[in-house]
Amino acid sequence: MSSKQATLDPTDLWGLALGAVLFEMNGYDAANNYEIEPTEENLEAIRRSLKRGWGIESTEDLMDNLRWLQEEGHRTSFYEMRSFLSTLSMADQSAFLETLPKNTEKHMQYILVKAYMHKLPLAGIAAWDFGRYVDLCRMGAFVGYISEETSWELIRKVAVVAQESYSGWLEYGISYVAGRQFWLGTISEEKAKQHTDYVRSLVLNKDSLWRRLDWNLKLVDEEEAEEAAEAEEVEAEAVETVVVEKEELEAEAMETVVAETVEVQTEAVESEIAQAEPAEVTAKDAETEHIEVATEEAETETRQK
């Protein structure tokens, strides 16, 4: 991560703060906005980490993982389990848990979902996906898989979604911890306390990004948002126009082909008829000539008799 972070504006700092728990856990310094010294040793360490943890070795790999976090993530499985359990009574939920193999990842995840399903907002553990998304964006830029500019553009987009999904940093932090537990698939009081301590520090420490930045900070300029929406609408209309024009051209081309085909077929039929008529006439003439000859022969024969 570059020295650009020292001069980040509040909106980019807000987006960076979504990954604060993970940055803190990895020992990055909040005093300089979690910037990493760009040494060869650090570069190699981050590359190894991305490869080992995510299978990322290229820009394409990075973007694939970012798309997964943005569109699905671990929250999808959490949603599905929560939706299923919500259809059951408390007694039936407990009975269902008893049917699962004990101490397996699935069993532990269902226990966690049951424990958190009424304590988290509708977004569930999406905070866990958002935090990791921001971390990947920054690590990807650090090793050169994407540019700094691209990294911040991606973070700004997910920041808007995150802000709409939670009511504040504390709720976001609790959801993040729940998501990490769900991802681990284990129930450990020690690890839960460790993660909760990071959240507590971010909420209470006056120097943390969470304390310095209002959750409801205006992330998108209304005028810019309207312009962006209008631009998207214009682009959509342009695409629709192109599609319609293409369909019309294809229809015209098809009509032309059909017309030409009919014309060719008509000409072929007329040609066949034209070729067939002389033959028929010749046959009739030959038949008439044969009759006339036969008549003359009969008359001659009669005269001879």
pLDDT tens digits, residue range 248-271?
A: 665 565 555 445 544 544 555 455
For the chain, the domains span 3-220
pTM score: 0.72
Out of 126-135, 157-166, 226-235, 286-295, which region has the weakest mean confidence (pLDDT)? 286-295
Closest CA relative to residue 177, chosen from 14, 20, 13, 11: 20
Structure tokens, 255: 């009509």
| pLDDT for the residue 245 | 59
pLDDT digit string, tens, across residues 25-68: 999 988 888 999 999 999 999 999 999 999 999 999 999 999 99
Contact 152, 9 (CB under 8 A): no
When pLDDT is cut at 50, 70 and 90, the band that residue 183 belongs to is: very high
| pLDDT for the residue 260 | 53
The residue among 231 and 94 whose pLDDT is bigger is 94
| pLDDT for the residue 241 | 58
* Sign of the torsion formed by the C-alpha atoms of 126, 14, 211 and 214: negative
What mean pLDDT is reported for the chain? Answer: 81
Contact 163, 130 (CB under 8 A): no
Summarize the confidence of residues 192-215 as an average pLDDT: 92
pLDDT digit string, tens, across residues 85-101: 999 999 999 999 999 99
Contact 203, 185 (CB under 8 A): no
| pLDDT for the residue 79 | 97
Summarize the confidence of residues 228-239 as an average pLDDT: 56
Whether 119 has a pLDDT exceeding 80, the answer reads yes
